[in-house]
């Protein structure tokens, strides 16, 4: 991770002929926003004196209390490699502050900072790695996205079958120029579906990396004449896109989830953290899977986990313990999708796990068989519940989970619930093409 001072950034801006600075932040749904300034305003921005209208951002503030300030995280400074080499463009990711100098409670990045600080008080660092999947689709004659893929590849295919290979390569090269350490990239299961994995980091850095990753993927895809989407389930009958999230705690730089004396190599802390995640999984779901469409992915049969249990051996449960041990010991939470706001989702996951640690929770026995092949009676006999089946079911679960509510704070919790309830009501009132096909002629 880079460590910049005010002076470093001003010097780099002059030496690199940077003319524009984008001050970036996210709304409560994880949508990346920005205010562009000229380099002549850089010193003012670095001092946290750039003001914006918070009432214009969904879920931020009322019009009578709208003045807010962007305070840049200096270490997030990056030059956009795809912009002109003369008159370059750079960005700074910002925290949102109120005029009185206090952090804005509705800033998603602040909610993650609070959770990370709570972990630090317990002596822990929260490390996270994500696996973001996405589709590449063709565009029409007007440049609008279609759901037509330009390849018929599947897992790990290569060109010429994998026609997304060149685009994916350019995405990886661009990310490397922006400081990412790319670990793997490959074609995924469905036609036009891809995955690029980058190295884990501390939670706040990983959340920043996720929003940057999505911006880069969409930008480079557009330059290839393609549309990249992180929509969880854009095509019926094929696998959807997930964002498997790998988590571990560290103490003094050492992995706190590893215990060589344990049968599975898992420490008591790891098992307690796991138990906390399982306990709060239903309440986490509106954050890890925030769209009506998210629940079209969370159905049996397409590799998406829907059963609230864990395993050290197979991929059917909600949480898997990958084979790596030692410093690589981690828990893989498999149900998040890439439309999640990473700041809120990671904050809630961290607090859920810490709840297990604080209260010494014990997880159920690991599942060794394939849950997808079990009958409903067999799952019930083992106490295996399912994640919420719709966005509304998930919102009900979140409403009942005091820990998730506290993680979000009252400002975000209320606005998030209101907006997502309206989204669900809008969806359920619509007449779909499926209903027309099934019912119009018959009835």
Q: How far is CA 72 from CA 5, 25, 69, 79, 439, in A?
A: 11, 9, 10, 15, 55
Q: Which residues is 441 bridged to in the sheet?
A: none
- Known catalytic residue at 244: yes
- Known catalytic residue at 107: no
- Known catalytic residue at 315: yes
The alpha carbon torsion through 315, 316, 321, 322 (nearest 10 deg) reads 0
Instruction: Name the residue among 343, 134, 341, 345 with its Cα closest to residue 232.
Output: 134
Annotated catalytic residue within 19, 315, 379, 399: 315
Rg for the chain (alpha carbons), in Å?
Answer: 22
Instruction: Name the residue among 347, 279, 276, 265 with its Cα closest to residue 312.
Output: 265
Whole-number Å distance between alpha carbons of 220 and 392: 35
Annotated catalytic residue within 43, 53, 183, 426: 53
- Known catalytic residue at 176: no
Annotated catalytic residue within 157, 332, 355, 401: 332
Q: How far is CA 101 from CA 106, 182, 375, in A?
A: 14, 37, 57
DSSP 8-state secondary structure symbol assigned to residue 16: T
What's the CA angle centered on 229, arms 194 and 347, to 5 degrees? 90
Q: For tokens 């900072």, name the residue.
A: 113
- Known catalytic residue at 53: yes
Instruction: Name the residue among 147, 169, 403, 387 with its Cα closest to residue 288.
Output: 387
Strands (E), 171-230: 182-187, 193-198, 201-202, 226-229
- Known catalytic residue at 430: no
- Known catalytic residue at 170: no
Under a CB-based contact definition with an 8 Å cutoff, are residues 37 and 50 in contact? Answer: yes
Annotated catalytic residue within 109, 194, 244, 320: 244
Pairs from 257-265 (Cβ < 8 Å, separation ≥ 24): 257/329, 257/330, 257/331, 258/325, 258/326, 258/327, 258/329, 260/325, 264/312, 264/321, 264/366, 265/325, 265/329
- Known catalytic residue at 188: yes
Strands (E), 252-404: 254-255, 307-311, 317-320, 331-333, 385-386
Under a CB-based contact definition with an 8 Å cutoff, are residues 56 and 139 in contact? Answer: no
Annotated catalytic residue within 78, 165, 188, 337: 188
* Structure token digits, residue 370: 């394939």
Whole-number Å distance between alpha carbons of 175 and 209: 10
Alpha helices in 289-401 (DSSP H): 294-297, 342-358, 376-381, 391-399
Annotated catalytic residue within 151, 195, 355, 401: 195
- Known catalytic residue at 141: no
Under a CB-based contact definition with an 8 Å cutoff, are residues 46 and 115 in contact? Answer: no
Annotated catalytic residue within 131, 151, 165, 197: 131
Strands (E), 199-240: 201-202, 226-229
Annotated catalytic residue within 133, 162, 165, 197: 133
| Catalytic positions | 53, 131, 133, 188, 195, 244, 315, 332, 334
């Amino acid at each position: 991770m880079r460590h910049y001072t005010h002076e470093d950034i001003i010097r780099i801006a002059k030496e690199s002929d940077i003319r524009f600075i984008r001050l970036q932040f996210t709304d409560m749904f994880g949508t990346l926003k920005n205010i562009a300034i000229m380099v002549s305003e850089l010193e003012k921005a670095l001092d946290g004196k750039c003001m914006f209208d918070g009432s214009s951002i969904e879920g931020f503030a009322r019009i009578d209390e709208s003045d807010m300030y962007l305070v840049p995280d200096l270490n997030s400074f990056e030059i956009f490699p795809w912009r002109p080499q003369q008159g370059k463009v750079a960005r700074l990711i910002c925290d949102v502050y109120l005029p009185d100098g206090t952090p804005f409670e509705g800033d998603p990045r602040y909610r993650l900072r609070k959770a990370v600080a709570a972990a630090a008080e317990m002596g822990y660092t929260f490390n996270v790695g994500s696996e973001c999947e996405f589709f590449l689709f063709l565009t029409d004659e007007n440049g609008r996205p279609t759901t037509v893929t330009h390849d018929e590849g599947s897992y790990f295919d290569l060109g010429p079958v994998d026609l997304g290979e060149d685009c994916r390569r350019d995405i990886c090269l661009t990310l490397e120029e922006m400081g990412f350490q790319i670990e793997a990239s490959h074609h995924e299961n469905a036609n036009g579906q891809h995955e690029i994995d980058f190295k884990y980091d501390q939670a706040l850095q990983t959340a920043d990396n996720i929003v940057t990753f999505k911006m880069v993927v969409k930008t480079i895809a557009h330059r290839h004449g393609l549309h990249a989407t992180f929509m969880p389930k854009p095509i019926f009958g094929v696998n959807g896109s997930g964002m498997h999230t790998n988590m571990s705690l560290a103490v003094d730089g050492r992995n706190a989830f590893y215990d060589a004396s344990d049968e599975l190599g898992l420490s008591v802390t790891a098992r307690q953290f796991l138990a906390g995640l399982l306990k709060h999984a239903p309440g986490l779901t509106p954050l890890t899977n925030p769209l009506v469409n998210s629940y079209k992915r969370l159905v049996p049969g397409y590799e998406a986990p829907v059963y609230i249990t864990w395993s050290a051996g197979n991929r059917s449960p909600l949480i898997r313990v990958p084979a790596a041990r030692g410093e690589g010991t981690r828990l893989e939470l498999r149900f998040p999708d890439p439309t999640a706001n990473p700041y809120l989702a990671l904050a809630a996951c961290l607090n859920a796990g810490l709840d297990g640690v604080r209260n010494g929770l014990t997880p159920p026995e690991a599942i060794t068989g394939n849950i997808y092949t079990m009958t409903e009676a067999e799952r019930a006999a083992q106490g295996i519940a399912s994640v919420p089946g719709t966005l509304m079911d998930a919102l009900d679960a979140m409403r009942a989970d005091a820990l998730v509510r506290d993680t979000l704070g009252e400002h975000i919790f209320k606005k998030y619930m209101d907006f997502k309830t309206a989204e669900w009501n809008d969806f359920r009132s619509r007449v779909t093409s499926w209903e027309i096909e099934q019912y119009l002629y018959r009835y």
